[in-house]
């Protein structure tokens, strides 16, 4: 779907997506920990899409979008630009339909994510690590190869697929007071907010973003879309900015956005590894990092924590999990 198309995503679209993709994804577990509950004085429910196919939630949206392509469009192949997880997911989904997938990846993306793209049959197209270079390279592939662009967060079919995570969480845990969710391009939190407000309107939706790339935080506070984020963060998957579609949903349905530091993110990764015994990438640890460091107002509440992926580069894992700098 073109970024210029009207955005009219509904709860019904997300319910249809769940039926459409159910044979190609996992229903991932919701984990609990008495230790973490006692530390936070909160009942925490971790929705663990680090156990999802391709290692991240992105496969939900990519699969929904690929399955909805017409035969004529599918024959042209697909292209996207991605720091890694959406790229691997699109490569996996394209393989389901037997079509080509060109994945434009910044050259500084973690090697584990580039390797995953290739493992799932995608064609990795490296570019400079800037948003301008990513867009320009993807547009060139569209022109020269005729491939269909499947954006990670500016595509209604992708966002509908991401919403299936929220359906599973709300089905598994009745009466959530709030859900904390990472926010980058805004596709996942947009779908989560649509589901929460449609199925569980009393549930607050809180976005969590690295302070180094706080475009979504700035956008919500000012009411004006900010796409200028250019800082640094270990949470490479959250460097993307909101777009017109996702900002509209965030402004209407997301209750708040909070920011966390890289040291908080790394501390959350260590805690989840040590206590829950799960491996999560930095982008997937941001939601828990906000609660872990004592954000006020949720003591005694039932809180969902979205854990988005587990594609952690082993060469960086030791530094994140042991280095006092983090």
> Which residue segments constitute the domains of the chain, with CATH numbers given?
11-57+155-322 (3.40.50.1100), 59-149 (3.40.50.1100)
Do 251 and 292 form a contact (C-beta atoms < 8 A)?
no
270-298 b/e (C-beta count within 10 Å ≥ 16 → b) = ebbbeebebbbbbbbbbbbbbbbeebeeb
Q: What's the pLDDT score for residue 325?
A: 55
Among the listed ranges 97-106, 108-117, 208-217, 264-273, which one has the minimum average pLDDT value?
108-117
Tokens 């060109």 locate to 102
pLDDT band for 295, please (50, 70, 90 cuts): confident
What's the confidence (pLDDT) of residue 1? 39
pLDDT band at 7 (very low <50, low <70, confident <90, very high): confident
Instruction: Convert the pLDDT of each residue in 208-235 to its tens digit.
Output: 999 999 999 999 999 999 988 778 899 9
Mean pLDDT of 37-51: 96
* Gap between the terminal Cα atoms of the chain: 40
Q: In the chain, which ranges are continuous DSSP H helix?
A: 11-21, 34-40, 58-68, 71-74, 85-97, 111-119, 131-145, 156-172, 187-199, 215-222, 244-253, 262-271, 282-292, 314-322
299 token code pair: 């003591």
Could you tell me how many helices (H) and strands (E) the chain has, helices first?
A: 14, 10
Kindly state the percentage of the chain with pLDDT values over 90.
Answer: 80
Q: Is the predicted pLDDT of residue 326 greater than 70, yes or no?
A: no
If you average pLDDT over each of 78-82, 113-117, 228-232, which comes out highest?
Answer: 78-82
Q: Give the whole-angstrom CA distance, residue 259 versus residue 14.
A: 28
Quick one: pLDDT band at residue 3, thresholds 50, 70, 90? Answer: very low
CB 220 within 8 A of CB 251: yes
Is the pLDDT at 11 greater than 90? The verdict is yes
Residue 324 has pLDDT above 80, yes or no: no
- Predicted TM-score of the model (pTM): 0.93
72 band by pLDDT with thresholds 50, 70 and 90: very high
Q: What percent of the chain has pLDDT over 70?
A: 95
Q: Are 295 and 258 in contact (CB under 8 A)?
A: yes
Cβ neighbours, 10 Å, residue 320? 22
User: With contact defined as beta carbons under 8 Å apart, do 141 and 77 qualify?
Assistant: no
Task: Tell me: pLDDT of 2 over 60.
Answer: no
Of the given ranges (32-36, 50-54, 224-228, 263-267), which has the lowest mean pLDDT?
224-228
CA distances (Å), origin 61, targets 117, 154, 234: 16, 11, 24
Residue 318 pLDDT greater than 90, yes or no: no
Distance between CA atoms of 63 and 162, rounded to whole angstroms? 10
């Amino acid at each position: 779907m073109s970024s210029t198309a009207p955005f009219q995503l509904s709860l019904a679209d997300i319910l249809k997506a769940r039926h459409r993709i159910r044979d190609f994804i996992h229903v991932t577990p919701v984990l609990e920990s008495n230790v973490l509950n006692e530390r936070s004085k909160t009942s925490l429910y971790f929705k663990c899409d680090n156990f999802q196919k391709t290692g991240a939630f992105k496969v939900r949206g990519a699969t929904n979008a690929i399955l909805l392509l017409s035969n004529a469009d599918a024959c042209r192949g697909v292209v996207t630009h991605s720091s890694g997880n959406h790229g691997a997911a699109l490569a996996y989904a394209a393989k389901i339909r037997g079509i080509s997938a060109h994945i434009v990846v910044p050259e500084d993306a973690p090697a584990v994510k580039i390797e995953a793209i290739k493992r799932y049959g995608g064609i990795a197209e490296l570019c400079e690590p800037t948003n301008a270079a990513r867009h320009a390279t993807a547009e060139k592939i569209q022109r020269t190869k005729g491939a269909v662009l499947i954006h990670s967060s500016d595509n209604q079919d992708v966002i509908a697929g991401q919403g299936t995570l929220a359906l599973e969480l709300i089905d598994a845990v009745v009466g959530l007071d709030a859900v904390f969710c990472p926010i980058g391009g805004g596709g996942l939190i947009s779908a989560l907010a649509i589901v929460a407000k449609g199925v569980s309107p009393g549930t607050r939706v809180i976005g969590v973003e690295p302070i180094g790339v706080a475009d979504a935080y700035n956008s919500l506070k000012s009411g004006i879309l900010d796409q200028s984020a250019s800082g640094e963060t270990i949470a490479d998957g959250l460097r993307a900015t909101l777009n017109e579609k996702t900002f509209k949903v965030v402004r209407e349905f997301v209750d708040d956005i909070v920011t966390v530091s890289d040291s908080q993110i790394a501390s959350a990764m260590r805690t989840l590894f040590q206590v829950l015994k799960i491996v999560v990438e930095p982008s997937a640890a941001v939601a828990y990092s906000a609660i872990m460091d004592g954000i006020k107002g949720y003591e005694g509440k039932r809180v969902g924590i979205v854990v988005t992926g587990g594609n952690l580069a082993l060469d960086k894992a030791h530094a994140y999990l042991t280095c006092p700098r983090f």
